[in-house]
Amino acid sequence: MMKNDKKWDAISIDAMFNLERGRENNMAILVEGDIPLVSARKVNNGIKGFIANPAKIIIGGKVITLNNDGDGGAGLAYFQPTDFALDTHVTALHPRCDISPDALLYMTASISKQHSIFGHGRSISLPRAKRIKNMIPVTDNGMPDYEYMSDYTSKKRKILLIRYRTYIEKRISELGEYIEIQPLNKIQWSPFLIAKIFNIFSGKRLVASDSTPGKRPFIGALDNSNGIARFVSDKNSSLDRNVLGVNYDGNGMVIGFYHPYECIFSDSVKRFHLKSHEDNAYILLFMKVVILQQKSKFGYLYKFNAERMEHTRIMLPVDNEGNIDYEYMDQYAKNMMLKKYKQYLAFLDDKEKGARVQIP
C-alpha cells in the first residue's frame, strides 16, 4: 500500500510513550568508557561520546531519544538500539507497548519533521514533549499502524542497501588492487612548511540572508557534514572543486575536508591546492589527516589564520632523497579505502545471510 492510500492521524507522543529526562548533568566527572552518551546533537545519532560511569544506563535499547534543545538539534529524534546513557538535554521515549525497531525508526523521522519549530528560544520541556502530536499512519480503527510502519522501513532499507552495494562495488573497481606498502611507523618522515606544499586561497563571506537556496554546497567552518553548511545557487570568487578546504576559525578550526564537487567557501575556510603535484583525492585526504595533527596548537585566542598556516610545519613521508613521497600517500589512502569498502561488503553479505557480523 502506498503512503497516499493510508489513513493518517496526529497522535500525541504521551499516548505512545513513557517519557524520561536524562540525568547526566556533570560532564566534568565522566570517565571515558564504552557506554554511548546521547546528547542534544544534530549528528551521529545524538551520540556525544562514550563513558564508563553514567548516573543511569537505559538498558536494552529499542528507545527513541528526543533532543530538548541544543545547537540546531532541538526537536530531532533518534532510535537507540543498544544500552545508553542520557544527558539532561534529551528525553527518552519508552514505548508503552511492544513496537518493532523498524516502526520506531519510522517514527524518529516523523517526529523529526517538527524540528524546525524548536530551538534555543523554544526548547522542549517535559510537558511540551508530552503534547507533541506525531502524524503517523493508523489502522481502520484509528490505532497506530505499527505493522505498516515496520514494513515500510524494511522495504526502504532493502532499496538503500542495494544502492549502497552498487556504489561500493563501483568504488572498489575504481580504486584498483590493494598494494602492500610499508606501515607508517616504518617509513621516513620530514617536516615541511605548509606554504612550500600548498597554494592557499581565501573563501568569501556570504551570510545566509544574502544567499539563494540551490544545489551548490556552501562550505563553512564546521566539524561535521564534510563542512557543508547549506546548499545555494550563488557563485563568487571562491568557486572551486577538487580541493582541500581547511578551517581557520569556528568549531572546526584546523579541520579539513576534501571537496571533489563544485562548491563555494565561507571566509572562515581556506582552499588548499598542491603546488608541485596534481591535486589528487587520495593525497589530499592524506594531507587532511596530517594537517589535523596540528589542531592542539590553536584555539579561539590563537586562530589558524593564513599567516600561521603558511608558517606551520607538518610531517610528511619522504623517499630516500628526502623528497615528499606523494606516491606513498596516494597508495596508503587507496589501501585504507579498499580495506573499509571490503569490510562494508562483508557486512552486507552477512546481513543478507542473517549472520551476526564481526569485523576486526
Its CATH class, for the domain covering 184-324, is alpha beta
Alpha-carbon distance of 259 to 271, in angstroms, equals 10
For residue 69, the model assigns a pLDDT of 85
- Common-topology check for domains 3-144 and 184-324: yes
For residue 354, the model assigns a pLDDT of 59
For residue 360, the model assigns a pLDDT of 38
pLDDT tens string 175-186 = 999 999 999 999
For the structural domain made of 3-144, what CATH number should be given? 3.90.220.20
Is the four-CA dihedral 221, 226, 228, 233 of positive or negative sign?
positive
pLDDT tens string 242-277 = 999 999 988 789 999 999 999 999 999 999 999 999
For residue 351, the model assigns a pLDDT of 74
| Cell numbers given for 33 | 568508557
Beta bridge partners of 64: 79, 93
Question: Domain extents for the chain?
Answer: 3-144, 184-324
Say if residues 245 and 265 touch (Cβ distance below 8 Å). Answer: yes
For residue 120, the model assigns a pLDDT of 60
pLDDT tens string 134-165 = 999 999 999 999 999 999 999 999 999 999 99
For residue 24, the model assigns a pLDDT of 86
Say if residues 111 and 64 touch (Cβ distance below 8 Å). Answer: yes
Across 120-138, average pLDDT? 84
For residue 4, the model assigns a pLDDT of 61
Helix 326-353 with 146-175: angle, nearest 10 deg: 150
For residue 1, the model assigns a pLDDT of 46
Whether pLDDT at 322 is above 90: yes
